[in-house]
Structure 1
Amino acid sequence: MHLTIIVGSSRPCGVSARVVALVRRHLGDEIGVDDIWLKNYRIEYCDADNACSDQDCAIQDDVKQLVARLDRADAVLYLPVMHAYGTNSRFQAFLERVGYGFMRPRQRPLSDKLAAIAVVGRRYGHTAVFSQVVLNVLLNKMILVGSGFPACFQTHLAHDPEAEQALCETLDRLCEHHRRLNSIGAANRRPEKGHQSMHFHNG
């Protein structure tokens, strides 16, 4: 499985970086992890001109490059940061572009990819941000995977064992679902044992 993490933080050494390190440590070397830090990309705000209903978005920025990286992933972990009880502005711009305008004329290329969410913030508002990203995941027709409780990391804590457990269980479920989907796909591609093609002749 190849996992891509979308990181909303602008702090290279903050809690989000610790979460990315946790993901890599938990998954080990067998799972490829690609972390995309949105701070390194130019993401313009959606202009809501609705022209993307039937043609590609005309805004020239790095969103096309970001979507190409996401398209190569088997699973995506959204890692937004909470500002003012909502997601930070850069992540909000990303959600608007990728959820609303950019994907629509492209027939939702992230459809059926596995997705999970973890939220970083001081306190309060975590579940509101979590719910917003859930709606974006569903809009892009992805498959949402969770562990029963949202992984919400509180930045005022030196360690957040509850959030770490929720995230690790979610990562395990991502791997499990990826294996199941692959086994189903392999079974569908494999011809049944002893099956022979049937030919009908007029007689």
Structure 2
Amino acid sequence: MLGICGSERPGGNTDLALEYAGRLVRERGAEFRTVHLREHRISPCSPCGDCNQRTTPCELRDDMPAIVEQMKQADAIVYATPVHGFGPAHLMQIFIERAGVGFLRFDRPLANKVGGIIVVSRRYSDAAVHSQLVDNLLLNRMILVGSGFPALLRNTSPQPQLQDAEGLEALERMLHRMIDMSLLLRRHQTADGRPVLPVDDRNERVSRAPRVVLPGQRTSSEKQAS
């Protein structure tokens, strides 16, 4: 499992949440590593203006290709960000823009990976930031497991600490279900030799002819199900 940390503050609430997540995941016998965006050179989108027309990945020279490669190798990914100015921290915002427009939109390589979200806040806009990241995961065809309430962690203290009992409980449920889903997908592919979900619908920019199913004819998904 890969954690993407969008906090600029070392040792802050977001770091503590990911450290806690890492301990829980390792207790289940799974691997967990964290990418701290603050430790990488990530350029904001440039004024080149050809993102909607280009057919190759972004050519800006920074650490984004290496981070995207780590995401491709992971079975599950957790986005973790604090709320700043009623939105995600600027590191996370820059990251999801560059990752999506510059690299992921061409063939959606994160399709069918399990995704999770941690949002840390003082009090306000955590649900709005969570919804934005949900849209991003779904856009990338990732699997967002239901786990009750979202993992929203609040701390009104000036000192970083994990004091939100309900938020931590939601975080624990999310992580356990992410691991369970990842193991299920891996077991199925090992036994069947094919992914559980189809991967032929990855790029919304590629025009597709409407599928016409004749009477008595089965679709490809129905054939796989049988």
Does residue 144 in structure 1 map to residue 144 in structure 2?
A: yes
Does residue 80 in structure 1 map to residue 81 in structure 2?
A: yes
**Aligned 8 A contact 2:22 2:32 in 1:** yes
RMSD: 1.7
The count of residues paired between Structure 1 and Structure 2 equals 187
Does residue 39 in structure 1 map to residue 43 in structure 2?
A: no
Distance 2:86 2:58 in 1: 29
- The C-alpha deviation readout for 1:117-147, integer Å capped at 9, x for no partner, is 0101111100110011111111111111231
Aligned residue runs from structure 1 range 181-192, under 5 A: 181-189=185-193
Could you list the runs of 5+ residues in structure 1 that have no partner in the other structure? 191-203
**Aligned 8 A contact 1:116 1:146 in 2:** no
Q: Which residue of 2 aligns with 1:8?
A: 6
Larger Rg: 1
Q: Which residue of 2 aligns with 1:18?
A: 16
Distance 2:66 2:190 in 1: 30
**Per the alignment, do residues 101 and 189 of structure 1 end up closer, same or farther by CA in structure 2, a change over 3 Å counting?**
closer
Does residue 113 in structure 1 map to residue 113 in structure 2?
A: yes
Cα drift, residue 189 of structure 1: 3.1
Aligned residue runs from structure 1 range 37-186, under 5 A: 37-47=36-46, 48-50=49-51, 53-105=54-106, 107-156=107-156, 158=161, 159-186=163-190
**Per the alignment, do residues 189 and 51 of structure 1 end up closer, same or farther by CA in structure 2, a change over 3 Å counting?**
closer
Distance 1:103 1:124 in 2: 30
- Point out the more displaced range, 150-159 or 165-174: 150-159
**Aligned 8 A contact 1:99 1:139 in 2:** no
- The C-alpha deviation readout for 1:75-123, integer Å capped at 9, x for no partner, is 0000011101100111100010112232223x11111111000101111
Where 1:80 maps in the other structure, the secondary structure is strand
Where 1:57 maps in the other structure, the secondary structure is coil
TM-score, length-normalised on structure 2? 0.78
**Per the alignment, do residues 187 and 42 of structure 1 end up closer, same or farther by CA in structure 2, a change over 3 Å counting?**
same
**Aligned 8 A contact 1:52 1:104 in 2:** no
**Which stretches of structure 1, 4 residues or longer, exceed 3 Å deviation after superposition?**
none
Q: Which residue of 2 aligns with 1:200?
A: none
Instruction: Tell me the amino acid that sits aligned with residue 176 of structure 1.
Output: D
Distance 1:37 1:52 in 2: 31
Where 1:109 maps in the other structure, the secondary structure is coil
Distance 1:42 1:50 in 2: 20
Distance 2:59 2:53 in 1: 8
TM-score, length-normalised on structure 1? 0.86
Q: Which residue of 1 aligns with 2:215?
A: none
Q: Which residue of 2 aligns with 1:197?
A: none
Identity within the alignment, %: 36
Could you list the runs of 5+ residues in structure 2 that have no partner in the other structure? 195-226
Distance 2:125 2:144 in 1: 20
Cα drift, residue 52 of structure 1: 5.6
Where 1:81 maps in the other structure, the secondary structure is strand
